Structure 1
Amino acid sequence: MPHDPHQWRLRDHDHARRVMLAQGSGRAIEHPIWQSRSAPVTPRPSLDSAITAEVAIVGGGVAGVSTALHLAERGVDVALIEAGTLGSGAAGSSAGIIAPQLVRATPDDVRRKLGDAADGMLRLVAESGTYLFDLVRRYGITCDAAETGFIAPLTGRQADRVLNERVREWGGLRPDLRVSDAEETQRLTGCGGYGAAIVDPTGGSVDPLALVRGLADQAERMGSRLYEDSPATQIVRDRGLWSVLTDAGELRARRVVLAANGGNPLLHQRLAGTILPLPVLEVATEPLPSDLLQAILPERHALTDLEPDVFSIRYTSDYRLITAFPASGRDTPADIERRVNQRLADTLVAHRPLALAYVWLGHAWVNASLLPRIVQLDDGLIAAQACNGRGLATNVLLGRELAKALAGRPQDAMIKAEPPRAVSGFLLARHLPRLLLSSALFAKRIKRRLGVA
């Protein structure tokens, strides 16, 4: 390991990708459904020479390609390198839900935590769904975009009061939000047991892999240079420029954006311990029959609830149901199909066992605040931390805000760069997201069996 304080080495660039994929059920295909649905693409070249750009981006997910596109729109010379293929990381393994809502915090929580910076953060989240769908329309990106709305239900006798207060806190930023009561929530979702729900008309769903590829194609048409199969191995500060090295090439730039999601901590020592992994098994069922289609999400909303065990469902364009649950790494094919159907049966008013067509392992990466974050690491070196399970909604708009800052207008950006913040007790905390989800799911199942509301 070099001793130069401006130099860091990535010892194993594949570490963030080396996760154990639990086996799918008998007939299920063990890769994200999006890989089977997207049209074949021509591979982009790997970086095999020394090049220079004004801005270098490391990471070809939503945040990286959106930043490249928005910089290209501003006439900035940008080059992006991706360790695998564009969209092959967390974005392409996600459920594709567009959820323009905070993960856990309320708007007033954000105001108390961020003070004067809260307004920009809240606007980023509030506008993220509308901006994503508008951008898709503007550039004609084919990604099964469904602006059908997003529903965030909550259980409990006080759910209506709690959610109405949350909507009130959004104030003028989200006058379009409303709360559905228990009866309407069951009608809109096909789920039993919820007391109320926030209905957000600006959410919905997309094919996340096609979204990344569409943004990348447009960025390339506007002049961005994109390289695949080019993992960064070293970042060096040399005579006022940053040099991002790969096994076969070098990318030099005055400014660098680290947008490699879970791989960011391997690229810079100050990012170590700042994000936590949340592995989840994602599944897509066989297409649903007409009677279940009429009973479950009849208006085709996407749904992620506000419970500790997080239940989430959405449809694909061919009416397969996508859902997820915490990954244990020990699930057999029979376990997966049983667990999925048990949870659906526990939640849905109308259900019968569904065969699984696709099973894959996804990863959300969460920081301590569960809010989008731009981290300032050094002069001209920043990182994006904007996943937290809501990265599709926020990262497209974050790319625009990063472009403002990188193009010389940081005062206009909705969120400002801040120092790295390590998660307290990281060695233990890194297991908490998965354990908390699993324990909450177990506790709810026991309550149902005991007949406890």
Structure 2
Amino acid sequence: MTVSHTSSYYAASAHDKVVRPTLTEDITADVCIVGAGYTGLSTGLHLAEMGYKVVILEGSRIGFGASGRNGGQIVHSYSRDMDFIERNYGKSTAKAMGDMAFEGGTIIRKFVDKYDIDCDLKDGGIFAACNKKQLRELEDKKSLWEAYGHENLELLDKQEVQKYIGTSRYEGALLDKSGGHFHPLNLAMGEAAALEKLGGTIYECSEVTRVVEGSKPKLYTAQGSVTADFVVVAGNAYLGGLIPKLEAKAMPCGTQVITTEPLSETQQKELLPGDECVEDCNYLLDYFRLSGDGRLIYGGGVTYGAREPSKIESLIVPKMLTTFPQLKGTKIDYAWTGNFLLTLMRLPQFGRIGSNIYYAQGYSGHGITSSHLAGRILSQAIKGQTESFDVMASLPQYYFPGGRTFRVPYTALGALYYSLRDKLGI
């Protein structure tokens, strides 16, 4: 049975609508990857460039999960920044992670350029401060990132930010000229096509039902199997119950996105004159940008435990109109939700099961860049170069308190606390 993508703007405007075959035989590979999202595709593409025979098993469609549904923004660093990492894990870990913190965006641009991927890639990202406290935090972020070698940053005051965003909502902003935005599903499809040109194989609608560990692990689907030297588990929020101990360390969370009808050039210039992408600094943040065909893509909010809200527009349209009241009455053409994976410490989880089953998950809202970085790290670890992997795998991985039953209400209460702080500006 063929599974369809969610009814998103991205699926409707995807360049590649070819359905890959389902696995129906027993095959072998150097590396078998579970999941054809960014983590799996980046890992597979890096490995294929090294000459490995790669097979990816995707339970649904390429980019079916967060990789094909996200806001499409290149946002650097991790969900926790290097100052937090240094306080909690020491200077050497912070230095090593800081050296990698801005690499994900570089990898994306390298793939787009090298493989001529058509995904509407544009430069420029903005962090917008909703109050003076957040603006002070952006000043600190600028100093912190510059200390780790990340330049091309510019602070904007309340008047300056209105030259970039057509709203009076923000107290100021941080412009990251090396940020950017793109069509996420077309990026995933482009990476998949590049992998296939290098000899890799992707099977869709081929959910892995069982993994048998050993010197040559074997992965079973409903109609076939793959025996490999190495396995990479890259299902993230859509892994399901395949490996329960990974599931217990993180929680799927949903975010909602809407897309307007195409806007006139005058409207586009009024909303985002420089065509940068924007995210605000609230804990439950809003994010928005223009698509390649001139629509406003606006997302925000979080539902814990991967619930699917029944009325996405009623959740997001009021947020959009708070930022851009001039869009009142604008038609919404698409609305959808997608899941990302949250960890307790909001840092990614890397690890190895036995000697040859690797995993990376839990990017906690920073998955676009972190997943592409993960592909480089995992591929090098398989090759035997484990320095970066060892750093990431050294971070402690905690189970959510209360287990599966109570992790949702506990986390929602914590989010409510931070949301109130955002509103009060404290």
Q: Tell me the TM-score normalized by structure 1.
A: 0.84
- Quote the residue 2:36 is aligned against: 60
Pairwise CA distance, 1:338 = 4.7
CA RMSD of aligned residues (A): 2.7
User: What amino acid does structure 2 have at the position aligned with 1:212?
Assistant: A
- Quote the residue 2:401 is aligned against: 424
- Quote the residue 1:352 is aligned against: 328
User: What amino acid does structure 2 have at the position aligned with 1:53?
Assistant: A
- Quote the residue 2:60 is aligned against: 84
Equivalent of 1:387 in 363, 367, 388: 363
**2:209 counterpart of 1:233:** yes
- Quote the residue 2:380 is aligned against: 404
| Secondary structure of the corresponding residue to residue 211 of structure 1 | helix
User: What amino acid does structure 2 have at the position aligned with 1:367?
Assistant: T
**2:178 counterpart of 1:202:** yes
Verify the 8 A CA contact 2:349 2:397 in the aligned structure 1: no
- Quote the residue 1:110 is aligned against: 85
Point out where structure 2 has 5 or more consecutive residues left out of the alignment: none
Q: Following the alignment from structure 2 to structure 1, what is the Cα–Cα distance between the partners of residues 15 and 229? A: 36
* 1:242-257 alignment runs, 5 A limit: 242-257=217-232
Q: Following the alignment from structure 1 to structure 2, what is the Cα–Cα distance between the partners of residues 338 and 249? A: 43
Residues 130 and 433 of structure 1: CA distance in aligned 2, closer, same or farther (over 3 Å): farther
Verify the 8 A CA contact 2:282 2:422 in the aligned structure 1: no
- Quote the residue 1:212 is aligned against: 188
Q: Following the alignment from structure 2 to structure 1, what is the Cα–Cα distance between the partners of residues 55 and 161? A: 46
Verify the 8 A CA contact 1:38 1:209 in the aligned structure 2: yes
Point out where structure 1 has 5 or more consecutive residues left out of the alignment: 1-16, 18-28
Residues 348 and 42 of structure 1: CA distance in aligned 2, closer, same or farther (over 3 Å): closer
Equivalent of 2:287 in 309, 312, 319: 312
Pairwise CA distance, 1:323 = 1.2
Verify the 8 A CA contact 1:153 1:304 in the aligned structure 2: yes
Residues 261 and 106 of structure 1: CA distance in aligned 2, closer, same or farther (over 3 Å): closer
Pairwise CA distance, 1:173 = 2.2
195-204 or 399-408, which deviates more: 195-204
Residues 443 and 95 of structure 1: CA distance in aligned 2, closer, same or farther (over 3 Å): same
Verify the 8 A CA contact 1:270 1:420 in the aligned structure 2: no
- Quote the residue 1:295 is aligned against: 270
| Secondary structure of the corresponding residue to residue 430 of structure 1 | helix
Q: Following the alignment from structure 1 to structure 2, what is the Cα–Cα distance between the partners of residues 286 and 270? A: 43
User: What amino acid does structure 1 have at the position aligned with 2:264?
Assistant: P
- Quote the residue 1:341 is aligned against: 317
Q: Following the alignment from structure 1 to structure 2, what is the Cα–Cα distance between the partners of residues 59 and 47? A: 14
| Secondary structure of the corresponding residue to residue 213 of structure 2 | strand
Pairwise CA distance, 1:374 = 1.1
129-138 or 55-64, which deviates more: 129-138
* 1:262-301 alignment runs, 5 A limit: 262-264=237-239, 266-301=241-276
Equivalent of 2:142 in 167, 170, 173: 167
| Secondary structure of the corresponding residue to residue 201 of structure 1 | strand
Q: Following the alignment from structure 1 to structure 2, what is the Cα–Cα distance between the partners of residues 287 and 434? A: 35
Equivalent of 2:15 in 25, 39, 48: 39
Aligned residues: 415
212-221 or 367-376, which deviates more: 367-376
List, as ranges, runs of 4+ consecutive aligned residues in structure 1 with deviation greater than 6 Å.
Answer: 438-445
Cα displacement string for residues 402-439 of structure 1 (whole angstroms, at most 9, x for unaligned residues):
11111111125584324643122343223455666678
Residues 388 and 74 of structure 1: CA distance in aligned 2, closer, same or farther (over 3 Å): same
